Structure 1
C-alpha cells in the first residue's frame, strides 16, 4: 500500500513537470527581411540608343553611355528599340535626367549595350563596363567592326565651288594716239571681231581717266557723259565679220595727262585690249 502511494506521488510530480515544460514560450523564428526593389515600369518610346521615354512620360538618358557617332547611331537605335521598347524595366535615378535601367531579368542595359559593341562608355574608370568595352573592342563587335569613328563625328564642312570662269571675249580693241599738241590730240580705235559670229550693229564704250573729251569723230557717232564715252557704228561700219575689224578716228581735247583707256565693252560684253 505504501509502495502504491509512493508510485502515485512520483507520477503526479512527473506529470506536473511535463505540464510546466510544455507551457513555457518557444523562442521566436525571425523571417529574413525582403530585399527592397524599385517597382517595375514600362518603356513606351525609344528616342535614341541611350535615351528612353518611360510610361509616365519621363524622358531620361541612360547613365554611363556615350553618344554614338553619326554612322553608328542607326544601329544603336535599332538595338535599343529591340531590347527596350514596350518592355518592363526597373529604373534607379542617379542624377536628374540620368537613370540606371535594368531589364526584367536583372540585366543592366548599359552593360548589355557595351558588351554588344553598340555604344561606348562615358565617365567610367574601371569596373565591369570598362572590361565589357575592352572585350567588345578586341572581339570587333558592333561599331568596332565598322569603318566608323568610335566617337561622335564633327559636322561635315561645306565646300564652296569656285565660280565659273568668265566667258572668252568676243572682241578686241586697239586704241592708238596718233598725234597730240597742247590741249588736243588725234586718236584711232580699231575694233576686231574675235568670235565666230557675225556682228551686225554695235555700240562701243570706254571711260577716260584724265578728263579727255571727244570733239569730232568719223566712221561712227559718239556721245559723252562726263568721262564715259559711247560710240555707235555708222551705217557702213555696222557689220564686223568673224576675224574682221573696223576702224574709227576722232579728235579730242586734253588738259594735261592723256592716258589710254584700259577697258572697253562692245554691245555690253568686255573686250580685250590690244
Structure 2
C-alpha cells in the first residue's frame, strides 16, 4: 500500500512538470527585419570626365552603371552629350556597386537610358529590359552612334607632280557640294480636319551637328498644333523647328525623328523643300 502511494506521488509530480512545460507561455520568435534599400541622394554634377564618368559636388568620382565605354571615334560626342546633359545639373544618385551609380535627373529621366535612346552610348551587363529595348530601337533607327563605325586610317596618296597637271582645256569644274542633310516627311494618319506626321532628319555632312533648326513651308495652309522631340513656331505657311535639349546632337550619319499633330482644310501635300541650319536638304 505504501509503495502504491509513493508511486502515485511520483506520477503526480511528473504530470505537473510536463503540464507546466507544455502549458507555459511560449517566448515570441525574434523578429528579423529586412534591411531597407539605400535611398537616392540629391546632389550636383561638378565635372564630367567622360560620357559615363562624373565627379559630384562632394568630390566623388563615379562611373554610371550599365553604360559601355565608347569607341575612340565616339568618345568626343559622348563627352559632349554628357556635359550638356549633366554638368552643373541637380541629379538624384543611387548606388549600385562600389564606384558605380545611377543618375536620375530632375525631370525623372534616367541618364543611362537617355544616352542609349539617343544612340550616344551602348549598354553593358544588361540582359533584357528597357535598356536592351532602347538599344535595339536606336540600332534599328540608326540613331546617333549606332549606325556609325570608326573609320580605318589610310595613308593619303602622294601629291601630284606639277608636271602632271592636265591642260587647262581638259580640266572640269569641281562638283557642287552634296547637301548636308536628308529629310523624310511622312503622314502617319489623318482624320477630318487633322493629321499626324513624322519628320526624320539625317546628318550626311560628315561633321557633328550640335544644335539645329529645321525649316519648311506648307503648300496647303496646314498648321502645326502639337510637336514632340522638338519645339516649333509658325508664321503663315512657314514652319521653324528647333531641337529639344536631348535631341541637339546629330552625329555623322546619325538621325533624329520628330512628330507633330496638325490641322488641315482640304489638300494635305507634303512640303517640297527643307533647310537645316540654313543649308538645303535632300527630300527623301
- TM > 0.5 between the two? no
Identify the TM-score tier after normalising by the shorter chain.
0.3 to 0.5
TM-score w.r.t. length of structure 1: 0.41
Q: Which has the larger radius of gyration?
A: 1
TM-score w.r.t. length of structure 2: 0.39
